[in-house]
Amino acid sequence: VGKITMVEMNRRFKADWLREYCSAILEKLALSRDDGMTVADNLVEADLRGVDSHGVTRLAVYAERLEAGLVNPRPQIKIASKSPTAVLMDGDNGPGAVVGLKAMEEAIKRAKQYGIAWVGVNNSNHFGAASYYVMRAVEEKCIGLAITNAPPTMPPWGGKSPFFGTNPFAVAIPAGAERPIVLDMATSVTARGKIILAAKAGETIPLGMAIDSEGRPTTDPQAALAGAVLPFGGHKGYGISLLVDILTGLLTGATYAPNVGGLYNNPNGIQNLGHGFAVISIDAFLPFPGFIDRMDHLIREVRNAPRAAGTERIYLPGEIEFELRDKNLAEGIALSPHTARELKTLGMRLGVSWPFGH
């Protein structure tokens, strides 16, 4: 009786250190130094932007699948078509971030030469946050799009069982003095992870987020987990999710809904995800300096638009994430005790030292 529970505090980790640590683990799992840094950077960037769900918390399952031989640590990524601007790439079952970054670089190169390019990828794996790739396009004065299919979680509109993935898409557009606009969204109302959290906390979820196993709207997170997550915006989100699956899975010869392999709880199957990366070279249309002036102007007009009662501030897509990134770069990334322990255990097992007390 009278047991005292220690509340574990989130500890903050410097991004550079975290990147090196994760990369060292990935090297132990047979990735090259460069590829290990790419995967690690992809995860750490998500944490920096406050998208913890796509951050270093994913390293454990990445490691598990590499160790099980379900992901190829040394892929021979190949271009499998001859078209100049619509390019099929075979990811050779490599780590998603490695394949994805290579595909985006190829799309940028070809867009600079021809104006616009699309690289479709098959035979790939979970690629982390889609925003990672489109930010590369922005650095090259281009507009970038990144999409991927994903394991089934959402029904078609009117259905009741998981069929489509949350099939996210990201688009980034450069600005001048202002920060780029970065739209990165799942095509579901919410992440399944948030429903799991509500179930653990004994809370209800808002109507419209999920359905039970009979397809009825529910506020009970347990019933929702036995049912399915709903697409955002009703039938419109369903249409967009379907479109993403067609442009990633169907068009590339990868698997597609509802047959996409899971990242978790799938110890015997590969994922064979499909991705798509598109790049538009802005100066094919307008001189770049004029375009970014126009972007700055638009961004300021949106920010200063008349606000609804109760709204403190109008945000541009990506703005919150840029502010979190500044803070996390300066102060370090706050990892939950669970995630920190998971990283430590993984490092200990693979011979990468964890230079902290716990």
Q: Which residues are catalytic, by number?
A: 126
**CB closer to a second copy, 79 vs 270:** 79
CB of 268 to a second copy, least distance (A): 23
Question: Least distance in Å: CB of 104 to a second copy?
Answer: 15
Contact partners, residue 84, CB within 8 Å, separation at least 6:
110, 113, 114, 117
> For residues 147 and 171, what is the distance between their CA atoms, to the nearest angstrom?
9
**Measured from the CB of residue 159, what is the shortest distance to a second copy in angstroms?**
4
What string of H, E and C letters represents the secondary structure of 9-63?
CCEEECHHHHHHHHHHHHHHCCCCHHHHHHHHHHHHHHHHCCCHHHCHHHHHHHH
SS3 call for 129:
coil
Least distance from C-beta 96 to a second copy, angstroms?
A: 19
Residue whose CB is less far from a second copy, 60 or 79: 79
Please give the radius of gyration of the chain, using alpha carbons only, rounded to the nearest integer. 21
Task: Pick the closer one to a second copy by CB: 127 or 291.
Answer: 291
- Relative orientation angle of helices 96-114 and 33-48, to the nearest 10 degrees: 90
Task: Label the pairing between strands 78-79 and 116-124.
Answer: unpaired
